Structure 1
């Protein structure tokens, strides 16, 4: 089973251009409580963490980047390069972002407000949480 869950977002367009619309509980399986963008990304990996509860939908508004997802047992990767394709990332999934194009802009829709206690920033701790041997 693939860890990659891609959501194709609807495009509405006419001679003036295209529009992508995203609606909570219609296109994504959660209510949106936070939105953030990553841009001016250096050539360093991002992410490198998991969340205990938070779910996310990530997509490249512009440019491209490679995501690696890991559930503690298997790893999978995908390159995002279209603003109409979102990557659904569930809770307790380790995520890494690599290989940003110079013009990469990533938008992330999150199911929860920022809460530092929801983050798991150490991979060994993440594995312990997945196995049920850590809190």
Structure 2
């Protein structure tokens, strides 16, 4: 079972240029193969998303624009991470309850996932999650 200490903020680096900056993501940059990419946008400022855990899927979150916080919970400990730079990302391994919250107006949350969508991989009820943690 993963713990909140297995979650890591990773600097993806950036290449500075007079025309703007660029961050490059290549498959070798990840500890998991990326099988799905999606992004959250048009979220009302201050609102929350997420509030679930995955049994098998790894996720990597990037604040592509704006900012938001991620509350991480392993059933025993909680930790909060603030994402506000597009060259920084948060790896969330399976088994962690994660909630994205306090989105700034216009924020975009880019998510790279190790698995394609499968509803059976999700734990959406917190009480069920705590039971899952205690197996």
Shared fold per TM-score greater than 0.5 = yes
Instruction: Mark the runs of 5 or more structure 2 residues left unpaired by the alignment.
Output: none
For 2:29, which of 24, 27, 30 is the aligned residue?
A: 27
Computed over aligned residues only, the root mean square deviation of the Cα atoms, in angstroms, reads 1.3
More strand by share: 1
Aligned residues: 131
Unaligned runs of 5+ in 1: none
> Is residue 90 of structure 2 the alignment partner of residue 59 of structure 1?
no
Scaled by the length of structure 2, what TM-score is found? 0.92
* Structure 1 counterpart of 2:77, from 74, 80, 83: 74
Shift of 1:4: 4.0
Deviation of the 1:44 alpha carbon: 2.9
Show CA shifts across 1:54-106 (max 9, x none).
Answer: 00100100100010000111000011000010000000100001111002001
TM (norm. structure 1) is 0.92
Cα distance in structure 2, aligned partners of 1:3 and 1:46: 21
Residue matched to 1:38: 40
| Runs (4+) off by over 6 Å | none
